[in-house]
């Protein structure tokens, strides 16, 4: 036999284990939760705007077009107190990375005709008929639309809805677009849940049943 | 190359005998078969009205394009094949179990060789679909949305779920539907319409997927009612208390009820909901009945609303149609009541709310038995009830329904005659291969209350008609021949026979047992044992045996899917392989990473390490990268036989000691390292592009034991660029322009491929192809140029029978050491495929 004994090394095993460790580290990063809320006072209008850390982001994939082609909807609650009146809104920003005008000749993303929050798996209606393009008394919305072309609207929330959201373990979004069935969109994994922050700051007096709604 | 066919379908109980006769014939005879299947498995499941068709491949595939802008009955998905299977010709078809859930007729995989492949799904009705590739590129998911209102094919609806499929969560059970229908009937039959106050605020007390039968007593002036809504095709029932003039009033009531209904909340509802509640809720549940009998509408207004409702039906806006019809019904205009009731039933039916639709139709027939639409409505009602009485898609839902307990079987056969002749001239002479390739795949299964049984046989046979000394000869191969047994109550399952497992420490095909215990939904323990089969032409070889253990953990630490394994194999009584390893899979929102390793602690060698990452960036470009380091050939003691006159390890032990044999094995296995980068991106509405670059090297093996040295390969590089266009000539066509280049040091090759698949009619498809290849071979100073045009015709003679004809020619030039020749030839492929 004219072969020579090959030196056996443990380096490949170490490399494999290091790779696995890096994988774990990479996967663990980005798991943050924001459980705070902030209040901003507008001296011109005299309104106090309560916001949470950031919007919940929901999306629907369309990998048939491209792996990153998605429609997005950002939602975030908003509390407004002005002159003793309090109101609560859900800020909604609708946008897309699907260039429908190019890919299919469709003019734009189909209009969203209904939105519903799925709170712990159960549908919570949002009043689309009362949607508004702006909130009275609020000059500066504390949430930024992700792109300039995003369609922004505000839907009224009731105190009880805020309360329910504040105790929710999971929230997703059911979306109905024109000509389509209502579908549940996925929540973007990086967007904070932070729903516990919704409760007291946005419903300071109502949860106990004292103050009247506007 | 043989053309495998893998088909799985299901027959009714009445077909048991035929199914078993067929299965027995195959199991006993094994007379036909083909090459290794490219499509390893197809799993169909359905949740919330959306069906998923999960397709797993034998090797990695990248989805290049898979879209149709509108509803279609055919989905053609262009794929780029990676890894070793890129060179194999493959034409496969399958009719998977549970296909009716996705309205799927069949699924075909087709590649004429090279890196291009196409996956075609045919549906029995127009569907919307999206394609979701898996991160490890071994699978893809076709998500199918079946438009509401399209009734399933009765034969297909009887298809049970495949074993192991995700439970199909469909609508309420038959008993629940009946209860809901009865309540709806009671609620609507003879109950006076109740006019409610002007308020639109309600307290949503609770929501449920099950019909709500118990209505609480409402406070004075309020009404408790059940509102229904449909989300993703699934019905929700909401118990509500209304109606309040404003949020403040509703909030005050909510405060008193929140302990009893902790998930309650207040919202404002559309007027139609209030009107519908007033029209449909029996007066008994209203403590205080408001005065009045309905909303005042003029006849013209009612007609206008009905016209809008009809338009909404046409536009598939069934929710709006129902709202408008309800407004008319709640009005004081009786003339349009019949039409409104029918439209309301139709809207309910189209949204999948069968119980409500049936109730509306029955109410129609009760109120308007002699109207001109009565026969029509009666037919609608009969069709609705008949459809509901057919076997349901979900065989087990909440343990309420008895499971189907019947044998089912399916299969498919194909036969192709192929001839490929080319005359290279000079010393190479004429090469002429011809043969009849026959393939068959049969499956039988029985689903019981507790136990599931299944079996499958996939065989191929090649009848070589080449003739002459160089003819390869006839060949029969058995790819699958196994039985499955599952015990759902204890989470146990087992597969016995010839089967293929490509992870968990198994090296592929083996004859033996694979058993699993599903401890919890996230944890599964597996054991594998048997005799490895390196060639499907081989009969079971008991001289080589292995045993392995593995654990699957899903969402381990909430972020990873993990499989760890240990495997031990021996050959002729000495250790062949002692291995541990793992596979870890992480999937993020726009990135993923899959890594695996296999370490042979007996040899102290890392047999393989691979990492595959995918990353999608916002500009619609998908990148992937792969790092692969492996021993080639895979390190086992048995590879010591390479270049040895001995035919077995037992014989080799007569010459060498076990230690020397193990050293020989080490010497025969070199290290292959590869790095690959790829990207895919849409260029425009009709064009996509993908590019793949690969660099690799092989470090060679030393001479030992009489075996020659394998030199270091140096660096080798490969590049492939493909441009894919869709609907360029006709709707649904797919065209591919592929450019490839490879430089291995010993040879360089450049190629161009043009391939177009054009649907000429629903049953006829034309597939012209052109391949131009130029190769420079350094040893011998040889240059080849080969042009291969061809055309393929696919004709679907019947729903489950397809004919295929492919013809083409070869021509070009060959220059070797200053001498030139002109090779020429032709090829022919003619055959059929039948599924049953």
DSSP string, B60-90: -EEEEE---SS-EEEEEEEEEE-GGGGG--E
- Among the partner-chain residues B317, B622, B667, the one whose CB lies closest to the CB of A67 is B622
The pLDDT value recorded for residue A7 is: 37
Please give the Cα distance from B623 to B222 (Å, whole number): 59
Q: What does the DSSP 8-state code read for residue B669?
A: -
Q: What does the DSSP 8-state code read for residue B428?
A: G
| Interface contact A15, partner B, CB < 8 A | yes
Tell me which H or E stretch contains B770: strand B764-777
CA B707 to chain centre: 46
SS3 B95: coil
- Look at B238 and A124 and tell me if their CB atoms are within 8 Å: no
**CA-CA distances (angstroms) from residue B797 to B443, B756, B763, B801?**
24, 22, 7, 6
How many contacts does A have with B, using Cβ atoms within 8 A? 198
Please give the Cα distance from B755 to B295 (Å, whole number): 65
Give B686's Cβ-side CA count (13 Å radius). Answer: 13
Residues 29-58 of A with CB under 8 A from B: none
Q: How far B721 CA sits from the closest chain A CA (Å)? A: 18
Taking contacts as CB-CB distances below 8 angstroms, the residues of chain A near B597 are 13, 16, 19-20
Please give the Cα distance from B614 to B620 (Å, whole number): 13
| Interface contact A88, partner B, CB < 8 A | no
SS3 B165: coil
By mean pLDDT, which of A43-57, A152-166, B34-48, B128-142 is the weakest?
B34-48
The pLDDT value recorded for residue B474 is: 84
Residue (of B123, B156, B125) closest to B142 by Cα position: B123
Please give the Cα distance from A47 to B657 (Å, whole number): 90
Mode of pairing for the β-strands spanning B90-94 and B104-111 = antiparallel
- Look at B586 and A184 and tell me if their CB atoms are within 8 Å: no
Taking contacts as CB-CB distances below 8 angstroms, the residues of chain A near B659 are none
Dihedral (C-alpha) B127, B130, B134, B138: value to the nearest 10 degrees? 50
Length of chain A: 214
CA B706 to chain centre: 49
Please give the Cα distance from B491 to B525 (Å, whole number): 10
Structure tokens at B139: 């699978």
Phi, psi of B587 (to 5 degrees): -125, 115
Across B98-186, the runs of DSSP E, i.e. the strands, are 104-111, 116-133, 139-145
The pLDDT value recorded for residue A189 is: 64
ipTM exceeding 0.85, yes/no: no
Sign for the pseudo-dihedral over CA of B485, B488, B490, B493: positive
- Look at A123 and B238 and tell me if their CB atoms are within 8 Å: yes
- Among the partner-chain residues B617, B619, B685, the one whose CB lies closest to the CB of A103 is B685
**Under a CB-based contact definition with an 8 Å cutoff, are residues A80 and A135 in contact?**
yes
By mean pLDDT, which of A48-52, A105-109, B243-247 is the weakest?
A105-109
- Look at B231 and A163 and tell me if their CB atoms are within 8 Å: no
- Look at B251 and A6 and tell me if their CB atoms are within 8 Å: no
- Among the partner-chain residues A62, A126, A213, the one whose CB lies closest to the CB of B248 is A213
CA B778 to chain centre: 45
- Look at A119 and B269 and tell me if their CB atoms are within 8 Å: no
- Find the closest chain A residue to B70 by CA distance: A104
- Among the partner-chain residues B557, B605, B704, the one whose CB lies closest to the CB of A2 is B704
- Among the partner-chain residues B236, B590, B605, the one whose CB lies closest to the CB of A123 is B236
Q: How far A211 CA sits from the closest chain B CA (Å)? A: 9
Region A108-133: mean pLDDT is 84
**Under a CB-based contact definition with an 8 Å cutoff, are residues B52 and B46 in contact?**
yes
The pLDDT value recorded for residue B330 is: 66
Phi, psi of B418 (to 5 degrees): -130, 135
- Look at B584 and A23 and tell me if their CB atoms are within 8 Å: yes
- Look at A12 and B606 and tell me if their CB atoms are within 8 Å: yes
Structure tokens at B59: 């090797």
Taking contacts as CB-CB distances below 8 angstroms, the residues of chain A near B593 are 23, 26-27
The pLDDT value recorded for residue B660 is: 92
Phi, psi of B19 (to 5 degrees): -60, -45
Residues 195-214 of A with CB under 8 A from B: 206, 209, 212-213
| Interface contact A126, partner B, CB < 8 A | yes
Taking contacts as CB-CB distances below 8 angstroms, the residues of chain B near A159 are 247, 251, 266
Interface test mutation site (partner A, options B265, B266, B353, B703, max chain A beta carbons within 10 A): B265
Q: Which residue has the higher pLDDT, A147 or B327?
A: A147
Please give the Cα distance from A169 to A161 (Å, whole number): 14
> B442: Cβ–Cβ under 8 A, 6 or more apart, which residues?
B22, B23, B26, B409, B410, B411, B456, B457
Mean pLDDT by 10 residues, chain B (836 residues): 30 33 31 54 65 79 55 72 64 73 81 74 77 68 69 33 27 36 40 54 88 72 81 83 86 84 88 68 33 49 76 69 74 72 81 68 81 79 57 32 56 86 66 83 78 86 79 82 86 89 80 89 88 84 91 76 91 92 78 86 91 74 84 90 87 90 92 88 77 88 88 87 80 80 86 86 85 84 87 82 88 81 86 84
């Amino acid at each position: 036999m004219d072969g020579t004994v090959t030196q056996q090394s443990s380096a490949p095993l170490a490399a494999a284990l290091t790779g696995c460790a890096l994988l774990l580290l990479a996967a663990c990063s980005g798991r943050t939760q924001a459980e705070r809320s902030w209040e901003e006072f507008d001296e011109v209008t005299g309104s106090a705007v309560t916001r949470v850390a950031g919007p919940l982001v929901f999306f629907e994939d369309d990998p048939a077009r491209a792996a990153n082609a998605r429609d997005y909807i950002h939602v975030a609650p908003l509390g407004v107190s002005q002159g003793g009146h309090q109101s609560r809104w859900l800020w909604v920003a609708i946008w897309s990375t699907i260039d429908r005008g190019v890919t299919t000749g469709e003019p734009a993303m189909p209009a969203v005709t209904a939105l519903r929050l799925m709170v712990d798996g159960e549908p919570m209606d949002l009043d689309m008929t009362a949607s508004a393009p702006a909130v009275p008394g609020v000059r500066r919305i504390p949430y930024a639309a992700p792109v300039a072309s995003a369609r922004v609207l505000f839907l009224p929330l009731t105190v009880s809805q805020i309360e329910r959201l504040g105790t929710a373990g999971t929230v997703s979004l059911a979306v109905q677009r024109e000509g389509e069935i209502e579908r549940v969109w996925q929540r973007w994994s990086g967007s904070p849940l932070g729903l516990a922050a919704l409760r007291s700051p946005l419903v300071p007096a109502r949860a106990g049943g004292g103050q009247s709604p506007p | 190359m043989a053309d495998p066919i893998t088909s799985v379908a299901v027959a009714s109980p009445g077909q048991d005998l035929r199914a078993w006769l067929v299965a027995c014939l195959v199991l006993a005879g094994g007379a036909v078969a083909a090459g290794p299947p490219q499509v390893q498995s197809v799993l169909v499941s359905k949740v919330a009205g959306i069906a998923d068709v999960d397709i797993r491949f034998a090797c990695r595939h990248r989805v290049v394009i898979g879209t149709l802008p509108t509803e279609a009955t055919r989905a053609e998905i262009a794929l780029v094949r990676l890894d070793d299977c890129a060179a194999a010709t493959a034409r496969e078809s399958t009719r998977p179990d549970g296909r009716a859930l996705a309205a799927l007729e069949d699924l075909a995989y087709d590649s004429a060789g090279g890196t291009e492949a196409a996956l075609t799904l045919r549906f029995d009705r127009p569907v919307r679909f999206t394609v979701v590739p898996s991160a490890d590129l071994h699978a893809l998911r076709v998500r199918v949305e079946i438009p509401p209102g399209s009734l399933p094919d009765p034969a297909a609806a009887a298809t049970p779920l495949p074993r192991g499929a995700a439970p199909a969560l469909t609508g309420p059970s038959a008993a629940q539907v009946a209860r809901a229908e009865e309540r709806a009937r009671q609620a609507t039959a003879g109950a006076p319409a109740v006019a409610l106050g002007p308020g639109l605020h309600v307290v949503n007390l609770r929501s449920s997927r099950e019909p709500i039968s118990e209505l609480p007593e409402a406070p004075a002036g309020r009404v408790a009612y059940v509102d229904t809504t449909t989300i993703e095709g699934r019905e929700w029932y909401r118990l509500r208390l209304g109606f309040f003039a404003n949020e403040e009033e509703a909030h005050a009531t909510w405060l008193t009820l929140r302990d009893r209904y902790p998930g309650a909340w207040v919202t404002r509802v559309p007027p139609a909901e209030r009107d519908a509640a007033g029209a449909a809720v029996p007066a008994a549940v209203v403590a205080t009945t408001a005065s009045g009998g309905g909303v005042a509408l003029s006849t013209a207004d009612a007609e206008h609303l009905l016209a809008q409702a009809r338009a909404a039906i046409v536009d598939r806006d069934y929710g709006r149609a129902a709202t408008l019809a309800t407004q008319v019904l709640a009005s004081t205009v009786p003339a349009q009541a019949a039409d409104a009731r029918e439209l309301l039933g139709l809207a309910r039916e189209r949204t999948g709310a069968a119980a409500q639709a049936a109730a509306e139709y029955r109410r129609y027939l009760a109120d308007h038995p002699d109207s001109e639409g009565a026969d029509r409505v009666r037919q609608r009602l009969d069709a609705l009830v008949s459809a509901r009485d057919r076997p349901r898609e979900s065989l087990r839902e909440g343990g309420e329904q008895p499971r189907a307990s019947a044998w089912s079987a399916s299969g498919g056969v194909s036969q192709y005659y192929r001839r490929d002749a080319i005359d290279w001239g000079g010393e190479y002479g004429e090469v002429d291969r011809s043969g009849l390739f026959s393939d068959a795949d049969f499956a039988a299964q029985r689903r019981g209350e507790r136990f599931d049984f299944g079996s499958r046989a996939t065989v191929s046979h090649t009848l070589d008609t080449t003739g002459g000394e160089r003819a390869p000869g006839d060949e029969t191969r058995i790819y699958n021949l196994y039985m499955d047994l599952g015990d759902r109550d204890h989470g146990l399952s087992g597969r016995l026979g010839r089967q293929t497992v490509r992870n968990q420490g198994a090296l592929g095909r083996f004859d033996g047992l694979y058993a699993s215990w599903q401890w919890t939904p996230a944890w599964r323990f597996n054991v594998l044992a048997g005799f490895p089969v390196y060639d499907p032409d081989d009969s079971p070889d008991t001289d080589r045996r292995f045993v392995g253990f593995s654990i699957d953990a899903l969402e381990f630490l909430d972020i990873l899917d993990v499989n760890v394994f240990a495997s031990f194999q021996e050959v002729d009584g000495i250790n062949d392989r002692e291995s541990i390893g793992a596979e870890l899979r992480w999937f993020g929102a726009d990135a993923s990473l899959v890594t695996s390793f296999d370490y042979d602690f007996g040899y102290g060698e890392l047999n393989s390490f691979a990492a595959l990452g995918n990353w999608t960036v916002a500009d619609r470009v998908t990148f992937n990268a792969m790092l692969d380091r492996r021993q080639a050939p895979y390190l086992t003691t048995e590879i010591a036989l390479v270049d040895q006159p001995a035919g077995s390890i037992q014989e080799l032990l007569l010459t060498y000691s076990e230690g020397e044999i193990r050293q020989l094995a080490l010497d025969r296995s070199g290290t292959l390292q590869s790095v690959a980068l790829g990207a895919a991106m849409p260029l425009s509405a009709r064009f996509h592009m993908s590019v793949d670059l690969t660099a690799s090297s092989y470090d060679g093996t030393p001479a030992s034991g009489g075996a020659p040295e394998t030199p270091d390969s140096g660096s080798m590089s490969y590049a492939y660029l493909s441009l894919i266009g869709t609907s360029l000539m006709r709707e649904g066509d797919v065209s591919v322009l592929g450019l490839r280049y490879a430089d291995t040091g010993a040879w360089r090759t450049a190629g161009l491929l043009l391939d177009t698949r054009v649907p000429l009619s629903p049953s006829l498809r034309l597939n012209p192809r052109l391949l131009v290849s130029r190769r420079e071979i350094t040893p011998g100073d040889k240059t080849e140029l080969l042009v291969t045009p061809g055309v393929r015709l696919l004709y679907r003679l019947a729903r489950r029978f397809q004919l295929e004809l492919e013809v083409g020619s070869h021509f070009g030039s060959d220059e070797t050491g200053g001498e030139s020749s002109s090779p020429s030839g032709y090829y022919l492929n003619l055959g059929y495929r039948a599924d049953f």
